[in-house]
Chains A and B, each alone.
Chain A
Amino acid sequence: MKHENSAERRRINYLDAIVQAQTEELERDSRVIMMGEDIAIYGSGDLIERFGPKRIWAMPISEASFTGVGIGAAIAGLRPIVDLNIASFMYLASDQIINQAAKLRFMTAGKVSVPIVFRVCMYYGASIAAQHSDRPYPLFMNVPGLKVISPTSPADAKGLLKAAVREDDPVVFFEDSKLWTVKEDVPTDPDFLVPIGKAAIKRAGSDITLVAISGAMRPTLEAADALAAEGISAEVVDPRTLKPLDVPTIVTSVGKTGRLIIIENAHRMLGAAAEIAAAVAEEAFESLRKPIIRLTSPDVHVPFSPVLEEALYPRKEQIVTAAKRLLT
């Protein structure tokens, strides 16, 4: 496994990194197939022309069953990437993801293996209202047997998606449309992988730990810049993988700073922030110099009107204010 230090790099955005990861894995392993709605026509970088209809399956609008078809195909020797498109569509498919993909290895004592990736896009902040705008990763963090990842940078998106395709367990890959345009130098090595289950320190610091999840990374990094301008050194931690969660990296950071803010765009009740806060309270209570702060969406649905929706997600200013509160 060649990690983040791979040599040659090219500057691409988050969405291109995902497409590149898919294309490279399709090229590498003939068992990799893609399944999803409309993928033969647009949105996937000419995959149908390059790999043909036996590798690229354009699906009828049957999320519950084509997800199960992917699971059956995975059990029988393929390594499917099932593109569920907009994240809230995965509720239709959740019986197959939870009752079949997540449980079959366990229930059969390892006789059945389900090497599959569910690619889901959290496409919110775009005035498409509640039924197209969810951030459902916390629901799936509650399911044993799944691995749940949500990268925040192009290199991580590429390396983690490639690792997910090579993984023998079912992986739910939550991409965040708020990050699609983020650009970065990304390794071109076709064997560049980012390990599942390892958090990353996106910015080193000593005064306060900011754990940011998925799309919340953007305002968090902006807040870290603003805090730095005022002489406050924030350490920004990106879990990258939400299940299994790399608690030791977070605990180590809190051990250094004594202060913790967790920022995410999902709901407050039982979100990733709640789990991280509980884990830190259990494992590093004595390190905390101040109470933990969670900045999340409130427990309310995404409204259509932009002015209402913008009020939902944590902003740079709120993060800065919260950080200062912990430092006074």
Chain B
Amino acid sequence: MEKQQHEIYRRMLRIRRFEEEGTRLYLAGEIPGAYHASIGQEATIVGACMALHDTDAMTGTHRSHGHPIGKGADLKALMAELMGKSTGICKGRGGSMHLADASVGIIGESAIVGGGIPLATGVGLSAKVLGTSRVCLCFFGDGAVNQGTFHESLNMASLWKLPVIYLCENNGYAITTSVAMSHGQPNIAQRAQSYGMPGIVVDGQDADAVLKVTEAAVARARNGNGPTLIEAQTYRFDEHQVGLVVPGTPYRTPEEVEKYKLHRDPIALFRQVMLSQGTAATELEAIESEVTAAVDEAVQFARDSPLPDVGGLYDHLYSRPLETSYP
């Protein structure tokens, strides 16, 4: 138990430090493209991932730097991918929105909102056909709930009792569009009722609480009792995208953001609980130093790595090179 608490703290901190460093590198021009940070949502990610076995599968979203880290991924290939390097987890083909680290069971991170929900459902179907005990944890946001894929996939998963955990990271906003502005019925977990599966609301800033409900959902899935919808109520501390300037009236007030940062920071909350339960500050500081060193090492690795060779542009398009010269 104590070991698990340490690991939760370690993984949440790895996400936080990785994202903080990534944000700096992005603003400094060392990371190209767009940067969607997971800061503020670490407890939901890590709490859910800790409920899985190593062999279990996961799907992520456009905001998915944290998901592989939450499942235990090494940081070096992730940071190298953000920099578009040949040593990146996708050899520079995927980038920030597609850190698909297969070594920790990630089968894809879909930057099409809701696009990963059918894939996760298919992994569940595969487990059923092959007779394995594998489950799939499917992350998506509050915006994806309004995609047709959510409705269609949850219906099929319930119909066939597929081993899938649908975990909605409800951070309140799809870019600038709030849940209130876009959901006719704003209680996301309640949607589960219409598919005949349990729908559970959990405090997404409380890693232990997320772990507990996800463990129950995983057990239910593994026992052949079908899927669960979990709505983890969380908060994104940064803008949708680092550096994004949203003109006009703010879609969320600075006071709201400050309130979450001050009082609902999942890592600060978890640290307090650990200290109050008797963990020595020195133990936590040791983890903090270790995480800082691991992130520094990842950045160094990424910086030192070569860029991809343009001659290999067609690599990985097909399972083997095409026999004809005309693609």
Contact = CB atoms under 8 A, between A and B. Distances in A.
B228 interface: no
Contacts of B130: 31, 77-78
Contact of B126 (A73, A104, A109, A167): A73
B72 interface: no
B98 A112 contact: no
A68 B153 contact: yes
A109 B326 contact: no
Contacts of B98: 107-108
B322 A68 contact: no
Contact of B319 (A62, A100, A105): A105
Interface string B167-192: 00000000000000000000000000
Interface stretch (A152-160, A217-225, A239-247, A257-265): A239-247
B226 to A, nearest CB: 15
B91 interface: yes
Given A64-B148, A76-B107, A145-B317, A246 B122 contact: no
Max chain B Cβ within 10 angstroms of own Cβ: one of A72, A75, A248: A72
B318 A73 contact: no
B156 A107 contact: no
A68 B119 contact: yes
Interface stretch (B108-116, B276-284, B294-302): B108-116
Interface in A224-258: 243-248
Nearest to A245: B326
A145 B318 contact: yes
B125 A69 contact: yes
A64 B118 contact: yes
A125 interface: no
Contacts of A279: 326
B90 A244 contact: no
Nearest to A110: B316
A325 interface: no
Given A60-B155, A75-B108, A244 B94 contact: no
Contacts of B134: 76
Contacts of B100: 104, 107-108, 111-112
Contacts of A69: 118-119, 121-122, 125, 153, 156
A13 B326 CA distance: 32
B128 interface: yes
Given A62-B155, A100-B119, A247-B324, A72 B94 contact: no
B107 A72 contact: yes
A78 B115 contact: no
Nearest to B101: A111
B323 A197 contact: yes
B94 A76 contact: no
Nearest to B159: A60
Q: How many interface residues does chain A have, given as a range?
A: 35 or more
Contacts of A309: none
Given A145-B317, A145-B318, A245-B324, A109 B159 contact: no
Contacts of A31: 130
Interface string B285-326: 000000000000000000000000000000111111011111
Nearest to A96: B118
Contacts of A291: none
B54 interface: no
B52 interface: no
Nearest to A195: B323
A121 to B, nearest CB: 22
A186 interface: no
A55 interface: yes
From B92, B124, B315, B324, name the one whose CB has the most chain A CB atoms within 10 angstroms: B324
B237 to A, nearest CB: 28
A108 B108 contact: yes
A78 B130 CA distance: 8
B46 interface: no
A107 B94 contact: yes
A73 B327 contact: no
B319 A65 contact: no
Interface string B111-152: 010010111111111111110001010000000000011001
A67 B91 CA distance: 27
Contacts of A104: 100, 108
A169 to B, nearest CB: 5
B90 A73 contact: no
Nearest to B120: A72
Q: In this complex, which of B136, B153, B326 has the most chain A Cβ atoms within 10 angstroms of its Cβ?
A: B326
Interface of A: 31, 33, 54-55, 57, 59-60, 62, 64-78, 95-96, 99-100, 104-113, 144-145, 147, 167-169, 197, 243-248, 279
30 contacts: A54-B128, A60-B159, A64-B148, A64-B149, A65-B118, A65-B148, A65-B152, A65-B156, A68-B115, A68-B121, A68-B149, A69-B119, A70-B122, A72-B107, A72-B118, A72-B123, A72-B126, A73-B122, A75-B119, A75-B126, A76-B127, A78-B125, A96-B118, A107-B108, A167-B319, A168-B320, A169-B318, A169-B319, A245-B324, A246-B326
Interface of B: 57, 89-94, 98, 100, 102, 107-108, 110, 112, 115, 117-130, 134, 136, 148-149, 152-153, 155-156, 159, 315-320, 322-327
Closest 3 interchain pairs by CB?
Answer: A72-B122, A68-B118, A65-B152
Given A100-B108, A100-B115, A105-B316, 4 more contacts: A65-B117, A65-B121, A67-B118, A245-B326
